Chain A
Amino acid sequence: MTTAQGTAPATTADSITLRARLSRMTRRGRGAQEDGGDRGIVSEHERGRGGVRASMGAIHVFLFAGLVVAGLGPLLWLAKAAVTPTQDTLTQPFALWPNGIDWANLEQAWNDIHIDQYFLNTIWVAAGSWFFQLLIATTAGYALSILRPKYAPVLNALVLATLFIPAVVLLVPLYLTILHPPLIDTSLLNTYWAVWLPAAANAFNILLVKRFFDGLPREVFEAARTDGAGPFRVFWSIVLPMSKPILGVVSVFAVIAAWKDFLWPLLVLPDPAVQPLSVRLPAVQSQTELDVFLAALAISTLIPVALFLVFQRLFLRGAGLGGAVKG
């Protein structure tokens, strides 16, 4: 894990054609492999010196303690408070169950706040956003990068231009579009289309996928075409299977963004029956007893944290890659 975390973006980047952007990382990754030595700021020689060793040891102890308190502390407290009666949480927030454990909180949160239903809604929002983002990014990326009609540069520029427009500009007109969509006569309010489709209009995804496709070897497509493969077959059987790394990155970004979104679903999903957790939790706060509410928060945190712990490397690589892509 130690070095894997560090070099993961570099070595996997070899298969990814973000290579230009990642070249500096790869250089380091390869260099480290060739030399067999991996060094940072502090040299072996300096590590040997007593004073340096002692102060680095002290720094690491503080660093570790700080990370445990800041990273894990709030979650542990939440886990404790989830099964603690309200009065104990309010009067002795750090006492470990002075008046016993209240397991019923969890059950109440699950049944009375209907966490299960809102959780399903959240998954539904995320799954649809993921699907439509991938659909748009791959088809558009394929058309703009590989089919490349004469007018492709114009479209490409129009897509890129939206990157410069901050989301806030879209807020009101997009809301009005959802209320009165063109051509169809019904409002999209309270339907998941209202979340999925605007999420799919993501220029950053298209940029990422198009750049990746740009780097794929053209000869393969030419060979397939001579063998009689049509544009769809090239797309489905050749381009997509070659693009798993970038599809993974776009997927992670899409799911995380959908999971975190608050303002947009709040606006277009006013009906509680279809709201995701992020919108529902603040709404139920005032009518819920604190201990049950904290139990609800704990349950809503449990799943993303569990997913993170299982797919840790994917998450961290995605986050690091995000930086590499941004950088």
Chain B
Amino acid sequence: MIERDAAAEALPRHPGPSKPSAAARRRRRTPVTWVRRGGLWNLAFLAPMLVVFGVFSWGPIAQAVVMSFQKTNLITPPVWVGLDNFARVLSDPNLGTAVLNTLYFAGLALVFGFPLPILMAVLMSEVRRGKGLYSALAYLPVVVPPVVAVLLWKVFYNASPDGVFNTVLGWVGIPPQPWLQSSVTAMPSLVIEATWAAAGGSIIIYLAALIAVPPELYDAAEVDGAGIWRKIWHVTLPQLRGILFIMLILQVIGTAQVFLEPYLFTGGGPNNSTLTVLLLIYRYAFQNSLGGDYGEATALSLMLAVFLGLLSWLYFKLTDRWSTN
């Protein structure tokens, strides 16, 4: 197909507006030549994608932009309100709370959840026998359906002194904690569960990356007299730099859209202490007693999207650069 196009392109051009020759006529794209070149087949293969993306991806994305400037409630016809939705979102006192909570969640998740899988993967990569067993054990929490995991941990977080975690704390002499019941401990509790649920996946990815570190580098480092710690610091971690940065961006993109944990654990409480941005969007659209405020919800999601879009653009640039290297 491509060759044929190239051949058509290579045909000599006839100068002057005289009668078009047979070759020139063939170069013109008539419907017949289009069909002969497989134009219909191309369309047939593209059709499923065009329909599905048009209706369920490109269409709604365009609609999101339009809707953010409209007042829509599905009952009355939509009205243009300019930047009203954005103004109302920005003046919502809950927005500040939600943004700060989301940043808090993301920050805690970085502190708890980012270094732990790296450490585990480095230690696990040095295991000689039964590596498969270690990997399987580490990956097991990822296999548990996330909803089941949250509901189970909700039982673990029972705030009575006989709760599962409080019993364990009792063994080492720590007084019972309120966990999800207090606005101070609720967010860290969410983060601990989220870390438990996600660490296994990251560990497996880091293990794969560790295998890719060329062993010659360690040999060379030893020749230079490096010990174990210096090898980790000067060889392993620099070699993992790329994947570490990617995982960091992916984690930030993921945690900025956290919904499941606050929705199922606390519903945003106590005292809005676990109200996240996505939960706020959900409330605007689907938990509004006055009917969904879809304009406000899309306005906020667009603002979040611009921030995340920048991050994923950065991510894409980096992966593209690293993959071509």
Query: Do A and B bind?
Result: yes
Q: A residues touching B (Cβ–Cβ < 8 Å)?
A: 1-7, 9-10, 20-21, 24-25, 27-29, 31-32, 35, 37-43, 45-46, 52, 56, 59-60, 63-64, 67-68, 70-72, 74-75, 77-78, 81, 89-94, 132, 135-136, 139-140, 142-144, 147-150, 155, 158-159, 162-177, 179, 181-182, 197-198, 200-201, 203, 206, 230-232, 235, 259-260, 262-263, 267, 277-279, 281-282, 285, 290, 293-294, 297, 300-301, 304-305, 307-309, 312, 315-316, 319-324, 326-327
13 more CB-based (< 8 A) A-B contacts, given A46-B228, A312-B132 = A27-B212, A28-B212, A40-B125, A41-B228, A63-B120, A136-B49, A155-B49, A162-B61, A166-B309, A172-B67, A231-B45, A263-B260, A315-B139
CB atoms of B302 and A281 under 8 A apart = no
Knowing A167-B257, A308-B143, the reply to whether A27 touches B214 (Cβ < 8 A) is yes
CB atoms of A177 and B136 under 8 A apart = no
CB atoms of A282 and B147 under 8 A apart = yes
Knowing A166-B304, A322-B205, the reply to whether A6 touches B41 (Cβ < 8 A) is no
CB atoms of A262 and B147 under 8 A apart = yes
Please give the distance in Å from B178's CB to the nearest CB on chain A: 17
Knowing A197-B52, A300-B148, the reply to whether A164 touches B309 (Cβ < 8 A) is yes
Knowing A41-B218, A74-B156, A297-B152, the reply to whether A304 touches B145 (Cβ < 8 A) is yes
CB atoms of B131 and A206 under 8 A apart = no
Please give the distance in Å from B65's CB to the nearest CB on chain A: 9
Please give the distance in Å from B118's CB to the nearest CB on chain A: 13
- What 0/1 pattern do residues 188 to 219 of B give for CB contact below 8 A with A? 00000000100011001111111111111011
Residue of A20, A25, A64, A309 touching B208 (CB-CB under 8 A)? A25
CB atoms of B131 and A5 under 8 A apart = yes
CB atoms of A166 and B55 under 8 A apart = no
User: What's the Cα separation between A37 and B153 when bound, in Å?
Assistant: 44
**B140 contacts the other chain (Cβ, under 8 Å)?**
yes
Residue of A42, A140, A170 touching B46 (CB-CB under 8 A)? A140
User: What's the Cα separation between A31 and B211 when bound, in Å?
Assistant: 11
Chain A residues contacting B312 (CB-CB under 8 Å) are: 163-164, 166
Q: Which of A35, A165, A285, A315 has the most CB of B within 10 A?
A: A165
Binds A, one of B17-25, B87-95, B242-250: B242-250
CB atoms of B316 and A163 under 8 A apart = yes
User: What's the Cα separation between A63 and B312 when bound, in Å?
Assistant: 34
CB atoms of B41 and A172 under 8 A apart = no
CB atoms of B304 and A168 under 8 A apart = yes
Q: B residues touching A (Cβ–Cβ < 8 Å)?
A: 1-2, 5, 38-39, 41-42, 45-46, 48-50, 52-53, 55-61, 63-64, 67, 72, 74, 120, 122-148, 151-153, 155-156, 158, 160, 162-164, 167, 196, 200-201, 204-216, 218-219, 222, 227-228, 231-232, 235-236, 242-243, 246-247, 250, 253, 257, 259-260, 263-264, 278, 281-282, 285-286, 292, 294, 297-298, 301-302, 304-305, 308-309, 312-313, 316, 319, 322-324
User: What's the Cα separation between A291 and B168 when bound, in Å?
Assistant: 21
CB atoms of B147 and A64 under 8 A apart = no
CB atoms of A60 and B127 under 8 A apart = yes
Please classify the interface of chain A as helix (H, G, I), strand (E, B), loop, or mixed, using the class held by over half of its residues: helix
* Closest chain B residue, CB of each to CB of A300: B148
CB atoms of B67 and A267 under 8 A apart = no
CB atoms of B45 and A6 under 8 A apart = no
Chain B residues contacting A91 (CB-CB under 8 Å) are: 162
CB atoms of A197 and B140 under 8 A apart = no
User: What's the Cα separation between A97 and B13 when bound, in Å?
Assistant: 90
Knowing A5-B132, A136-B52, A168-B257, the reply to whether A149 touches B39 (Cβ < 8 A) is yes
* Closest chain B residue, CB of each to CB of A1: B132
CB atoms of A320 and B204 under 8 A apart = yes
* Closest chain B residue, CB of each to CB of A139: B45
CB atoms of B140 and A28 under 8 A apart = no
User: What's the Cα separation between A321 and B150 when bound, in Å?
Assistant: 27
Chain B residues contacting A322 (CB-CB under 8 Å) are: 201, 205
Chain A residues contacting B200 (CB-CB under 8 Å) are: 71
CB atoms of B228 and A277 under 8 A apart = no
Residue of B46, B126, B140 touching A308 (CB-CB under 8 A)? B140
User: What's the Cα separation between A38 and B222 when bound, in Å?
Assistant: 16
Knowing A28-B212, A166-B308, A297-B151, the reply to whether A259 touches B145 (Cβ < 8 A) is yes
Chain B residues contacting A281 (CB-CB under 8 Å) are: 147-148, 151
CB atoms of B259 and A28 under 8 A apart = no
Please give the distance in Å from A24's CB to the nearest CB on chain B: 4
Residue of A46, A94, A169 touching B64 (CB-CB under 8 A)? A169
CB atoms of B130 and A2 under 8 A apart = yes
CB atoms of B204 and A2 under 8 A apart = no
CB atoms of A169 and B301 under 8 A apart = yes
Chain A residues contacting B222 (CB-CB under 8 Å) are: 43, 45
CB atoms of A63 and B145 under 8 A apart = no
User: What's the Cα separation between A43 and B231 when bound, in Å?
Assistant: 10
Q: Which of A29, A169, A281 has the most CB of B within 10 A?
A: A169
Knowing A59-B123, A173-B61, A282-B264, the reply to whether A28 touches B215 (Cβ < 8 A) is yes
CB atoms of B140 and A72 under 8 A apart = yes
Chain A residues contacting B292 (CB-CB under 8 Å) are: 172
User: What's the Cα separation between A172 and B282 when bound, in Å?
Assistant: 9
CB atoms of B134 and A63 under 8 A apart = yes
CB atoms of A177 and B55 under 8 A apart = yes
Please give the distance in Å from A293's CB to the nearest CB on chain B: 8
CB atoms of A74 and B2 under 8 A apart = no
CB atoms of B214 and A135 under 8 A apart = no
